[in-house]
Structure 1
């Protein structure tokens, strides 16, 4: 629930000792634990009341199932065939193989940039620079009013 590293925990303890002092700190910790205990008892009794009110039809009801991730995971586990989960898994595996092949091809071209990628039947593009540039007389005149 909480992601506290050991360094942060030590820093919080030192900060608590500095702010509250070593005399008051044990009483504050005991009070905090009592509050947490009361909150847990309250939530447990509320869950039991809800289960009693729902009746025997919902005897296997779990509150964790109300979490959307848990609900979806549970539904896919029980009805995976109906939703085509196996087809999606096969599609994913096929895509992974195709992606691996494409990655290998790109890496091979990247390692040898002069390697010929296209086959001989592909049309060749002339990348040579033209020998002369068009003369200034061939260029269209600049129109100040057009801009």
Structure 2
């Protein structure tokens, strides 16, 4: 969760004790607990509302299958246009722009020198 480990949380707690002081810390801890409780209640309410609106289909849906990060638009279009999917051909890695420029600079002749140019 956000890259927080137990030792980082302990350091944050110690800093909070020093910054807030022991007299104000219980008040802020209670407020934080109320915030977390209300966020959890909102998330549960949203899930319950989705379950009510979708009906019994909600539990049957494979949510990982619907993750938009797994879709590749090029693959989807290729599969829609081609009757039989072709095996994907692996191209060799392309030469980087830096490597191409270095290769062209080594092979190039020096620029002509114009002694009359200003």
TM-score, length-normalised on structure 2?
A: 0.50
Q: Which has the higher contact order (CA 8 A, sep 6+)?
A: 2
TM-score, length-normalised on structure 1?
A: 0.42
Select the structure that is richer in helix: 1
